[in-house]
Structure 1
Amino acid sequence: MNRRPRLRTSAAAAAALALAVTNLGSATTAEAKPGEHRAPRPCPTLTVSEGWYGDTRARLDALVADHCRDKGRKPVAVFDWDNTVIKNDVGDATLYWLLRNDRVRPPRNGDWSTTSRYLTPGAAAALGDACPSRGRTLPTATDTRCADEILAVYGTGATSGGADAFAGFDHRRMEPQYAWLAQLLRGWTTREVESFAAAARAENLAAPQGATQRVGTARVTGWVRHYPQQRDLIRTLRAAGFDVWIVSASPEPVVDVWAKGVGVAPSHALGIRNTTDRGRLTAHLRGCGTVRDGEDAMITYIDGKRCWINQEIFGVRGPAAERVQPASRRQVFAAGDSDTDISFLRDATGLRLVINRNKNELMCRAYENGDGRWIVNPMFIEPKQRKTTPYPCATTGYTAPDGTAAPVRRPDGSVIPDQWDTVHQDPRTRTGVA
């Protein structure tokens, strides 16, 4: 507790002292020389104005001011990565680099079912037929049939023949296509994977916007850009004393490499974590909450993101990590762009920034805005045009754990009505319209 100095002072000086004390909640006072008074140092504010819709920038600045240099525990801010902080997907970029550079190892004994417990027998057979084992790594730079099959299973969740590639998973905890990329990294060390990610990062940042690359016989996205607005927001939050984290459904060594580009250290980047064996990644995954290591049943995806945030950021262990925590043990701010982010966004106690990519459940909850804490902003690069039909909130906007479609419900169980897309960008003027 700060003790007030016993001073004999004039009424004017007393008023100045009272004003300084009042302002300590949102700013700090620079150290002054004896007898000298300095004005409180203001909280940082956003410097990039272009791209923010409506009053979004003002609301973000107000949040920073409300928590600027909070005493005690730092307020936590959590960002999704792909298409939230950057345009395009770093997991995709990494897989494309792996395939173009012969860095995917064949499974032992050619049994592709060992790469994912959710891979269907048909998909395992299709991969085995297209990618016979030929040494230490698969020649996917030249073997277009093998590259095409891997790309189909990862990118579409189906074989090149159209059969389902994955089955038997909890759709609120696991996305086996995302997990499969981490599992395809088996046999490499974390440092080696980081070097692959760094090479892919350099290529994608150097490529012109809109560039494509050939992988197998397909033309795929070949560029990535940081959003200046999000880099500025992260800088501002960190300057204000926030504890800023990245939580992504890409492999953690990949996220670590990319997060450095916005000033977030690897210790504050969470992604899909492999188990290791003698220093090398395995095809099995680390667990969270009630899921043990090697069970491969939960990644940083929808409810899994909540679990990993609770466990790694707030220190909640065991079954409790899967549950919503008291407000004092939750993030103040969260940002995301997809249904994979919905649980950790809902947990945020201050503001929830949604980058509009027309994802049903996310946009249903953001547009309904039941507690007034949701902010919707168009994508900063190549924004989506207005969706001309309402989001199907009242019928099929929610994906249940078994994969079936259901209505999106409020915490009290009532159904959210269909919502219209009202925050988008006019492609002719590149300005926000309602």
Structure 2
Amino acid sequence: MNFKRRCTAAAAVLAVAGTGLIGVQATAEATQDAPPKRAAKCPTLSVSEGWYGDNKARLQRMVDKYGSCGDGHGTKPVATFDWDNTVIKNDIGDATMYWLLRHGKIRTPKDGDWHTTSRYLTRPAVGALAKACPATGTTLPTHRNTACADEILSVYGEGTTTSGKAAFAGFDHRRMEPQYAWLAQLTRGWTTRQVKRFAAAARAENLAAPIGTEQRVGTGKVTGWVRYYDQQRDLIRTLKKAGFDVYVVSASPEPVAEVWGRGVGIDARHTLGIRNVTAHGKHTAHLKGCGTVRDGDDSMITYIDGKRCWINKEILGVRGAAAEKVQPAAKRQVFAAGDSDTDVSFLRDATGLRLVLNRNKNEVMCRAYDNGDGRWLVNPMFIEPKGAQADPYPCASTGYTERDGGEGPVRRTDGSVIPDQRDTVHGASPASSATQD
């Protein structure tokens, strides 16, 4: 895509001094969020319930400032949203995996070798899967063979075998989550159209199910419902009407995210997710790469630093190794929304505002509460918000996940360590009503 048509030329908003979320926001009110002269012409957010404090007002001022209704910069500002638990409640990757297992739609591994489905599967995992899922046909009868369904579900959901042994090893924890990638890899042998059909069936079931529904997969019970957040649908609608280029960037398979994105008006061209390498029109177990990662290396997906790379490459037009790097402020997205440590890098890149839904995830909450530049907004989840975390987030010790999986302190851009942060924005916000379609 042409970078000049996709990014905003606006300079970064003035940095605001201070580290406390509430104190910094007060300063921001008088600086970066001042309404432009033509703000009255901007589309306005219509859903008020569920927004914490002045978050809605600050989002509106961002729309007024950067949208085509504001001062106008001649290019479309970019807004990027994570999907699972950011635009919707619960996880579309999980919903799709559960559907595949319940309907026996996972292909038998090539030559019965599970290592062909992920290079990061450990020997114990490969052995456990082979034992539980004997190769008896082109697809695995997981709708009948509960032992096979249980083993796949444990490896995917817990990252361990049913006996508790580690299922994946040897990956870069800042650019790959092999459990997420494995879902995309297990769609091997199907066409993109077929995968979308599976995702659409799972979507219909999960939206129709009452909130709190559980479904049986194998011998266990798992979440059986999903809802769109009315607040995020309203925000996306408003941003688009104001002239923003709005994208979804998900760590679920891209065809799955495309199916769900339609429900908030996001088309396939504005959806990024895990992409399979295809052969003869069908998915393979290999994945597309970004930056220095070649197609088929299977070592980077839309996850933490990988989300930054894919946004830079596919939205902002940055090619090669440079896509892995933080771009100049004028070449980055204005707005980003996320809920988890998987979203940290692309959230940090946003130059206007960064919205975080609080799911008690260490690194992202450390950075959001530290709020050194006044651009972070914290909001409770709109449905079933979490209560306050009793202990402070361990920002100064173990809040950061290293590339090798180790833990360390969360550091600011200048290298200084973020002190531990108290959880102050939580379940005080009431759950909203949520549409089912």
Q: Structure 2 length as normaliser, TM-score?
A: 0.89
Check whether the contact 2:379–2:425 (CA below 8 A) recurs between aligned residues: yes
Q: 1:192 & 1:223 partners in 2: Cα distance?
A: 22
Partner of residue 10, structure 2: none
Partner of residue 403, structure 1: 405
Q: 1:233 & 1:419 partners in 2: Cα distance?
A: 28
Q: 1:41 & 1:430 partners in 2: Cα distance?
A: 30
Partner of residue 20, structure 1: none
**Which of these residues, 133, 141, 159, is aligned with residue 131 of structure 1?**
133
Give structure 2 stretches of 5+ with no counterpart. Answer: 1-34, 433-437
**Which of these residues, 370, 373, 376, is aligned with residue 371 of structure 1?**
373
Shift of 1:68: 1.9
Shift of 1:71: 3.6
Q: Is 1:217 aligned to 2:232, yes or no?
A: no
Check whether the contact 1:252–1:269 (CA below 8 A) recurs between aligned residues: yes
Instruction: Give the aligned residue type for 1:277.
Output: A
Shift of 1:425: 1.8
User: What is the SS of the residue equivalent to 2:427?
Assistant: strand
Instruction: Give the aligned residue type for 1:56.
Output: N
Instruction: Give the aligned residue type for 1:144.
Output: T
Check whether the contact 2:383–2:431 (CA below 8 A) recurs between aligned residues: no
Instruction: Give the aligned residue type for 1:376.
Output: V
Check whether the contact 1:153–1:159 (CA below 8 A) recurs between aligned residues: yes
Partner of residue 53, structure 2: 54
CA RMSD of aligned residues (A): 1.4
Instruction: Give the aligned residue type for 1:234.
Output: I
Partner of residue 65, structure 2: 66
Check whether the contact 2:277–2:288 (CA below 8 A) recurs between aligned residues: yes
Partner of residue 262, structure 1: 264
**Which of these residues, 331, 336, 339, is aligned with residue 338 of structure 2?**
336
Q: 1:67 & 1:305 partners in 2: Cα distance?
A: 23
Shift of 1:73: 1.5
Check whether the contact 1:169–1:402 (CA below 8 A) recurs between aligned residues: yes
Q: 2:100 & 2:395 partners in 1: Cα distance?
A: 39
Give structure 1 stretches of 5+ with no counterpart. Answer: 1-23, 28-39
Shift of 1:25: 6.9
Instruction: Give the aligned residue type for 1:80.
Output: D
1:19-418 matched pairs, under 5 angstroms: 27=38, 42-69=41-68, 70-418=72-420
Shift of 1:140: 0.4
Instruction: Give the aligned residue type for 2:378.
Output: V
Moved over 2 A (4+): 24-27
Check whether the contact 1:26–1:68 (CA below 8 A) recurs between aligned residues: no
Q: 2:37 & 2:224 partners in 1: Cα distance?
A: 43
Q: Deviation per CA, 1:41-97: give whole Å up to 9, x if none.
A: 610110000000000000000000001213421000000000000000000000000
Shift of 1:426: 3.3
User: What is the SS of the residue equivalent to 1:319?
Assistant: helix
Greater RCO (CA < 8 Å, at least 6 residues apart)? 2
Which structure: larger Rg? 1
Q: Structure 1 length as normaliser, TM-score?
A: 0.90
Shift of 1:430: 6.0
Check whether the contact 1:26–1:66 (CA below 8 A) recurs between aligned residues: no
Check whether the contact 1:26–1:65 (CA below 8 A) recurs between aligned residues: no
Check whether the contact 1:197–1:254 (CA below 8 A) recurs between aligned residues: yes
Instruction: Give the aligned residue type for 1:379.
Output: M
Instruction: Give the aligned residue type for 1:54.
Output: G
Check whether the contact 2:359–2:381 (CA below 8 A) recurs between aligned residues: yes
Check whether the contact 2:84–2:91 (CA below 8 A) recurs between aligned residues: yes
